[in-house]
Amino acid sequence: MTAYVLILDDDADVATAAQLLLRRRHGRVATLTDPSGLPALLARGVPDVVLLDLNFTPGRINGAEGLALLDLLRAQPQPPAVIAMTAYADVPLAVEALKRGAGDFITKPWDNARLIAAVDQALTLSSASRGGGAGSPELMGKSRAMRELKSLIASVAPTEANVMVLGENGVGKELVARAIHAASRRAAGTMLAVDMGALPESTFESELFGHRKGSFTDAKADRAGRFQAARGGTLFLDEIGNMPLAAQAKLLTVLERREVTPIGADKPEAIDVRIVSATNLDEARLFDPAVFRADLLFRLNTIVLRVPPLRERREDVPLLVAHYLQLYQTQYQRPARNVSDAAMDALMRHDWPGNVRALRHACERAAILAQGAEYVTGDFGLVAPVAPALPAPAAATARANNPAPAGDMTLEELERMAIANTLAQFNGNISHAAKTLGISRAALYRKLGKHGI
């Protein structure tokens, strides 16, 4: 499905500039300059992501108007991901927006790469945001594995220990992080998620530690980094395993000293955040010094939580299927249907390489396309997993001896094969696979769901 992005800003030029930038990547990008038109727009369909200006009336800089609109957006049955925008580098206002449910904030004028990365991350995480909290769908389940995970979360959350969450793509690592934050002593504070794999190395320090006006070209105002914005709360560092080694060294210094120095600042600032990190890397690879610094790893993995893949808790599949079907039947105004015994058997036997994310997309597809009195196996579009790619020399030999019958494959089948083989080549690393395929991480996540990978 094409993402729907809404830009809500009283400055038509600003809104149009953002629209032109984002339309290259997302087909449906709308603008709205008069906030009074928001209720009518929401009645026609809720966006996936909203870029929300916090000030509309000339002369007002307290953000009250934008915060009221944020409350309206978050009150929707299926709320969009919200990125707050302001021309004023006001840390308390940014923190208040984050507390009220914004997933990120952008200071105007923005850096184009930063804005694109923020929207991509919001799209990637929007499903988690729409589920929300410790009771969200990805954490549903009564299997022994899920009961043990929830018990560990309950034990770990009240402490200040740093936590590393391990698990395959689509298992719900961010939802585990949100559950930890919600049950912690910092629950009243902000939880801010940062996709470390999507941060350009050139802007790493500015994004995390902030900068001062004039410290570099385009630094037109002071800007708070993520460590400052999450003060008193939790900072979730997702895809931590994709950080370059040089960036890992800078992060280690901050964690050791418990202070950051914004670019261009004369003195450091103390930080007060709890760190929860996550990666889909194999634990063995995390201990490879060519991939990850051991001293940083020991700072991050005081507690390690492993989220089980769906194939290891198949007894949770009926509960998840029932939840998602009901969700999408309501969202798309489709009739309620029971799942046939044969379809449920197929769903439970499926290995779900994309885990809960793939199951959710399968249920969405079924809710939209089903025509019969009950859901049948074909409605869910299950596809058998593609075999992992061979190493380059072996693959070349195999292609020479057994050329692929591309003429017999549809374009969709070829796309699925290319994605599966590229993921296998990079051991499931989403960032590297997306770069090789020439698409964004968010686009790759959507294709993983589409193909059930």
Burial 98-113, CB ≥16 within 10 A → b, else e: bebbbbbbbbbebbee
Task: Tell me the CATH number at 332.
Answer: 1.10.8.60
Q: Are residues 161 and 281 in the same domain?
A: yes
Inside any domain, residue 120: no
Q: Are residues 144 and 252 in the same domain?
A: yes
Q: Are residues 279 and 327 in the same domain?
A: no
Inside any domain, residue 435: yes
Q: Are residues 291 and 368 in the same domain?
A: no
- Write down the pLDDT at residue 274: 96
Positions of the chain with pLDDT lower than 50, given as ranges: 1, 127-137, 386-407
Residues 6+ apart with CB under 8 A from 404: none
DSSP 8-class letter at 211: B
Inside any domain, residue 320: yes
CA 380 – CA 347 distance, rounded (Å): 8
Question: By C-alpha distance, which of 269, 274, 195, 268 is closest to 232?
Answer: 274
CA 46 – CA 125 distance, rounded (Å): 16
Q: Are residues 163 and 302 in the same domain?
A: yes
Inside any domain, residue 149: yes
Q: Are residues 18 and 160 in the same domain?
A: no
Domain that holds residue 325: 314-380
Residue ending a domain, among 273, 308, 343, is: 308
Task: Tell me the CATH number at 202.
Answer: 3.40.50.300
Residue ending a domain, among 308, 323, 348, is: 308
Inside any domain, residue 123: no
Inside any domain, residue 264: yes
Q: Are residues 286 and 413 in the same domain?
A: no
pLDDT tens, position by position, 16-33? 888 988 887 776 899 999
Give the chain's domain count: 4
For the chain, what is the radius of gyration of the CA atoms? 22
DSSP 8-class letter at 340: P
CA 53 – CA 87 distance, rounded (Å): 9
Residue ending a domain, among 308, 343, 370, is: 308
Q: Are residues 264 and 409 in the same domain?
A: no
Q: Are residues 208 and 262 in the same domain?
A: yes
- Helical packing angle, 430-437 and 411-425, nearest 10°: 130
3-state SS, residue 260: strand
Q: Are residues 257 and 147 in the same domain?
A: yes
Beta strand extents in 135-227 (DSSP E only): 163-166, 191-195
Q: Are residues 169 and 291 in the same domain?
A: yes
Task: Tell me the CATH number at 416.
Answer: 1.10.10.60
CA 106 – CA 49 distance, rounded (Å): 14
CA distances, 391 to each of 286, 359, 438 (Å): 22, 30, 21
Q: Are residues 169 and 220 in the same domain?
A: yes
Task: Tell me the CATH number at 71.
Answer: 3.40.50.2300
Inside any domain, residue 40: yes
**Is residue 357 classed exposed, middle or buried when 0-12, 13-18 and 19+ CB atoms within 10 A define those classes?**
buried
H/E segment holding residue 5: strand 4-8
3-state SS, residue 228: helix
- Write down the pLDDT at residue 390: 42
